[in-house]
Structure 1
Amino acid sequence: MKVTVIGAGSTYTPELVSGLAAQRSRLAVDELVLMDIDAERLQVVGGFAQRMLAHQGLPTDVRLTTDRTDAVRDADAVLVQLRVGGQAARLADETFPLECGCLGQETTGAGGLAKALRTVPVVLDIADEVRRIAKPDAWFIDFTNPVGIVTRALLDAGHRAIGLCNYAIGVQRWMARLLEVDPVRVDVDPVGLNHFSWMRRVFVDGEDVLPRLLDERIDELLQRSPFPEHLVRMLGALPSYYLRYYYFHDATVAAQRAERPRAAVVADLEAELLELYRSPDLVEKPAQLEHRGGAFYSEAAVDLLASLHADEPTTHVINVRNDGLIPGLADDDVVETRCLVSRTGVEPLPQPQVPPVMLGAIQHVSAYERIAARAALSGDEDDVRRALLAHPLVGQWELVEQLLPRLLETSAAHLPRFAR
Structure 2
Amino acid sequence: MNSVKIVTIGGGSSYTPELIEGFIKRYNELPVRELWLVDIEEGKEKLEIVGSLARRMVEKAGIPMKIHLTLDRREALKGADFVTTQLRVGLLDARIKDEKIPLKYGVIGQETNGPGGLFKGLRTIPVILGICKDMEELCPDAWLVNFANPAGMVTEAVLRYSNIKKVVGLCNVPVGMKMNIAELLGVEGSRVHIDFAGLNHMVFGLNVYLDGGNVTSQVIGKLTDGSVSGVTMKNIKDMQWEPEFLQALGVLPCPYHRYYYQTRKMFEHELEASRNEGTRAEVVKKLEAELFELYKDPQLDIKPPQLEQRGGAYYSDAACNLINSLYNDKGDIQTVNVRNNGAIAGIPDDSAVELNCVITKDGPKPLAVGELPVPVRGLVQQIKSFERTAAEAAVTGDYKIALMAMVINPLVPSDGIAKQILDEMLEAHREHLPLFFRTEPAAALV
Counterpart of 2:132 in structure 1 is 127
Q: Given the alignment, which residue of 78, 102, 106 partners 2:111?
A: 106
List per-residue Cα deviations over 1:334-363 (Å, max 9, x = no partner). 111000001132111121531221111111
| Corresponding residue for residue 197 of structure 2 | 191
Q: Are residues 212 and 47 of structure 1, via their aligned partners in 2, closer, same or farther at CA, if it must alter by over 3 Å?
A: same
Q: Point out the more displaced range, 83-92 or 170-179.
A: 170-179
Verify the 8 A CA contact 1:191 1:199 in the aligned structure 2. Answer: yes
Q: In the superposition, relative to structure 1, how do residues 165 and 36 fare at CA in structure 2: closer, same or farther (>3 Å)?
A: same
In 2: Cα distance, 1:282 partner to 1:240 partner: 35
1:81 to 83, 86, 93: 86
User: Residues 304-319 of structure 1: matches in 2 within 5 Å?
Assistant: 304-319=322-337
Counterparts of 1:11-90 in structure 2, within 5 Å, are: 11-37=14-40, 38-90=43-95
1:242 to 245, 250, 256: 256
The match for 1:334 is 352
What is the rounded CA distance, in whole Å, between the counterparts of 2:32 and 2:68 in structure 1?
12
What is the CA–CA distance in structure 1 between the aligned matches of 2:267 and 2:75, rounded to whole Å?
45
Letter paired with 2:188: D
User: Match of 1:144?
Assistant: 148
Mean CA deviation greater in 172-181 or 342-351: 172-181
Higher deviation after alignment, 222-231 or 113-122: 222-231
Query: In the alignment, is the contact (CA less than 8 A) between 1:16 and 1:297 conserved in 2?
Result: yes
- Partner AA of 2:367 in structure 1: L
The whole-number CA distance in structure 1 between the counterparts of 2:431 and 2:222 is: 53
Q: What is the distance in 1 between the residues matched to 2:220 and 2:419? A: 43
Aligned counterparts of 1:227 and 1:316: Cα–Cα separation in 2: 27
TM-score by length of 1: 0.96
- Counterparts of 1:53 and 1:94, CA distance in 2: 37
Which residue number in structure 1 is paired with residue 412 of structure 2? 394
Counterparts of residues 197-346 of structure 1 (less than 5 Å): 197-215=203-221, 218=224, 219-220=226-227, 222-224=229-231, 226-259=240-273, 260-346=278-364
Is the contact between residue 7 and residue 81 of structure 1 (CA under 8 Å) also seen in structure 2? yes
Q: CA deviation at 1:251?
A: 2.1
Q: 1:216 to 1:40 in 2, by over 3 A?
A: closer
Does residue 404 of structure 1 match 2:407?
Answer: no
How far has the Cα of 1:24 moved from its partner?
2.3
Q: Which residue of 2 aligns with 1:178?
A: 184
Cα distance between partner residues in 1 of 2:88 and 2:74: 19
Q: Is the CA contact (8 Å cut-off) linking 2:84 and 2:146 kept in structure 1? A: yes
Native 8 Å contact 1:388 1:395 kept in 2: no
Query: Would the aligned equivalents of 2:345 and 2:370 in 1 still touch at CA under 8 Å?
Result: no
Judging changes above 3 Å, is the alpha-carbon distance between structure 1 residues 369 and 16 closer, same or farther for their aligned structure 2 residues? same
Deviation at 1:188, TM superposition (A): 2.2
Match of 1:264, SS? helix
Q: Distance in 1 between matches of 2:228 and 2:125?
A: 36
Letter in 2 for 1:139: W
Question: Is 1:364 aligned to residue 364 of structure 2?
Answer: no
For 1:353 and 1:327, locate their aligned partners in 2 and report how far apart those are by CA, in whole Å.
Answer: 5
Secondary structure of residue in 2 paired with 1:309: helix
2:443 alignment partner in structure 1: none
**How far has the Cα of 1:131 moved from its partner?**
1.7
Encode CA deviations 1:180-209: one digit per residue, 9 max, x unaligned: 433333322222111112212223333332
User: What root-mean-square deviation, in Å, do the aligned CA atoms of Structure 1 and Structure 2 show?
Assistant: 1.5
SS in 2 for 1:8: coil
- Give the Cα separation in 1 of the matches to 2:152 and 2:332: 22
Identical pairs, percent: 42
Equivalent residues of 1:148, 1:319 under 8 A apart: yes
Q: What is the DSSP-based 3-state SS (H/G/I as helix, E as strand, rest coil) of the residue aligned with 1:100? A: coil
Q: CA deviation at 1:123?
A: 0.7
Contact 2:393 2:401 in 1 (8 A): yes
Query: Contact 1:222 / 1:229 at 8 angstroms: preserved in 2?
Result: no
Q: 1:199-221: per-residue Cα shift (whole Å, max 9, x none)?
A: 12223333332223334674456
Structure 2 counterpart of 1:4 = 7
Structure 1's unaligned 5+ residue stretches are: none
Return the alpha-carbon distance in structure 1 between the equivalents of residues 7 and 214 of structure 2: 37
State the AA in 2 paired with 1:69: R
Assess, with a 3 A threshold, how the Cα gap between structure 1 residues 109 and 34 changes in structure 2: closer, same or farther: same
| C-alpha distance in 2 between matches for 1:32 and 1:262 | 31
Inter-CA distance 375–77: structure 2 relative to 1 (3 Å threshold) = same
- For 1:235 and 1:290, the matched residues in 2 are separated by 30
Superposed CA offset, 1:302-330 (max 9, x none): 11000001233011100011111111111
Give the Cα–Cα distance (whole angstroms) in 1 for the partners of residues 362 and 210 of structure 2: 26
Query: Is there any run of 5+ residues in structure 2 with no aligned partner, and where?
Result: 233-239, 439-446
* Paired position in structure 1 for 2:444: none
TM score, norm. by length of structure 2: 0.91
In the comparison of the two structures, how many residue pairs are matched? Answer: 419
* Per-residue deviation, 1:118: 0.5
